Structure 1
């Protein structure tokens, strides 16, 4: 039983649909406040495929409040320097060690590790993820929501939160549009074992005349590689990744690909939900906003969404008006809009017409000599610029989670 209790006739206070980082963080935050929460996911088990790998400073502050930051930091690699380069030439250094936070770095750690840490924390609160439970439909009234899942399962909840990605069933059931589009370029992603050339101490965005290539260190001696590649083969093999590094990466010290552990190809979307809730149906994370992986923002924004939403739902369940959800939307939707705008600019800059790449690189190099530009970019990417000064009862270290 929660410290607040649950309304008669309800199975739970909050049903969370989707057990990615956003859903797990929301479930953990609600359980921390003594709320009854059910988390369901349609997958039989968590995936260990290559997805997000960057956890930024503001997100680590929130994860510290949830009691998992220290463990996650132990499992990742702290990157204090991010550089934009044209092959061997540094165009702009971006220093995270100057970010005003207890976590002055970007933590490189695979998403499935972040999910495992959050899952363990959730389980320690007495909440297990129900798998495979797929949401089929919902019906809401003034008091709550009846959720119908596969195999005839039903759950009655005060609120249902969709943390179920870009193709969110919760968002579709709520009739909320996801507005935007996608970029024409195709991208490839690979986690590789590589020797020489690329550093273990920093992440690098190579903006060479041949195209973009992002390379960052991962635990277990691996590196994450992401590049634009409209001519990629069906299977992203070692030879193809070697070709990308030879054409776009370091020249003086050639990076040699030893093996490819995981790979995928993808298109990038830029979309924003028209609303963040409809009555007692709420969306967060990728169900609410989808954008370019430039700067590693997606998972981070979703986790902070979760902490902000948990505080709002806790207050409503304690008797605050339902309209408080409008404040969640007013606080978090503009952040997502700003992140989409930033990542859109970074993406378009990275995939600029080949005839303009020399000029682009010269402009980036010139901008680096204006100290405030890389400093502001580091603070924005780290997420600390989105802190709010309005105090709430549920307040992670470094300010509330707006």
Structure 2
């Protein structure tokens, strides 16, 4: 039997953030993950200001800032017409922008810092069962090994074994539309430091620049192809993106499809078992909030667990009370953006007119900037 202070199940951004915060406090932490190696794709591509603020004490923020693109504006457009511009430059933060960097780079930076602090990730290891008592948790892994820990953190994603084993509910639903995601190389007169959400009669598409001359394309479609082709992405941009100067797609570097769920765990804690990241909440990618919320969960939880192991259990007792309401707000916000983007064709002219009117109000623009950046959750 292996013994440790905290067992973290899942080495994605939330799990690594939890583990790094623990290791920084000198806590013995064991991390397991069912993948043979870390993620090498870029499912999430946005790191917001509040996330950089919580990563700064871990020594991770500056690494990411040097690697990513600083997007100082987010706009919603009806083809070429700007409906709602949202700027970040006036926000009270050391990071007045949205950082565009792939999830693979974010995970690599967190893993490098965790490793530098003496941590390792055991791969591939899968949790099969857990049993908890008043003094700790005993976890059994797929190779027959058992791990005894004072606390166990489930950061093992939407289909969390930890959540199921702990008997925690995960209520919610699924959007009817599927999403197509592609990282492409393209040419055209697109801003190099701006995220754009395009509305059109044909549907919505998000275009965001990434490091290395790549653009992230995300669109809602009835039935997304498993592997989007150059022609498929080109059609999306031709019918939904800019009209005056067409964007020309030359290569699909990576692509995927997914359906979006909106769910929040009924509890973030059951005894000595706690949840963070997608194990606790999933929602639409609109606004790029998912990974950010998970990392913020992880850092707060790691610090709270370190305090609990030193005898101060108050921060751990309030973890759910502070983080679950944030998840509920994020799910609601992402849901509203998604429903705006996928509004019925007959309602889209009204939607666009309302957004354009709201876009003239500084108070609305600032409120949205605070919400997108995550600074509203300080």
- 312-321 or 56-65: bigger deviation: 312-321
CA distance in 2, matches of 1:17, 1:233: 31
User: Aligned residue for 2:355?
Assistant: 364
1:118 aligns with 2:110: yes
Runs of 4+ in 1 over 6 A off after TM superposition: none
Matched, 1:130 2:146: no
Pick aligned residue for 2:131 from 126, 136, 139? 139
Match of 1:329 in 2: 320
CA change 1:281–1:233 in 2 (3 A) is closer
Instruction: State the alpha-carbon separation in 2 of the partners of residues 212 and 10 from structure 1.
Output: 50
**Any residues of structure 2 matched to 1:287-326 within 5 Å, and which?**
287-321=279-313, 325-326=316-317
CA RMSD of aligned residues (A): 1.2
CA-to-aligned-CA distance 1:272-312 (integer Å, 9 cap, x gap)? 00000100011001000001111100111111111111222
Are 1:207 and 2:203 counterparts? no
- Structure 1, 191-200 or 36-45: larger mean CA deviation: 191-200
1:62 paired to 2:54 = yes
Deviations 1:301-343 (A, max 9, x none): 111111111222112111234x753310001000000111111
Alignment partner, residue 350 of structure 1: 341
Contact 1:137 1:173 in 2 (8 A): yes
- Please name the residue that 2:84 is paired with: 92
Matches within 5 A, 1:278-289: 278-289=270-281
What stretches of structure 1 of length at least 5 have no aligned partner?
1-8, 388-402
Q: Equivalences for 1:79-228 in 2 at 5 Å?
A: 79-228=71-220
Take 1:72 and 1:370, find their aligned partners in 2: how far apart are those partners?
33
Query: Is the 1:197–1:256 contact (alpha carbons within 8 Å) kept by the matching residues of 2?
Result: no
For the pair 1:47 / 2:45, whether they are aligned, the reply is no
**How many Å apart are 1:234 and its aligned residue?**
4.6
Deviates more, 1:191-200 or 1:247-256: 191-200
Task: Report the Cα offset of residue 359 of structure 1.
Answer: 1.0
Aligned to 1:381: 372
SS at 1:11's partner residue?
strand
Aligned residues of 1:144 and 1:158 also touching (Cα < 8 A): yes
**Aligned pairs, number:** 378
- How far residue 49 of structure 1 moved from its aligned partner, in angstroms, is 2.1
Q: TM-score, normalised by structure 1?
A: 0.92
Task: State the distance in 2 between where 1:231 and 1:324 align.
Answer: 45
**Alpha-carbon displacement from aligned partner over 1:226-264 (angstroms, at most 9, x marks no partner):** 001114445310001000000011111110000001111
Contact 2:179–2:259, Cα closer than 8 Å, also in 1: yes
Deviation sequence 1:10-50 (CA, Å, 0-9, x none): 71110000000011111100011110000110000012123
Q: 1:176-212: CA deviations, max 9, x gaps?
A: 0011011101110000001003221211000111110
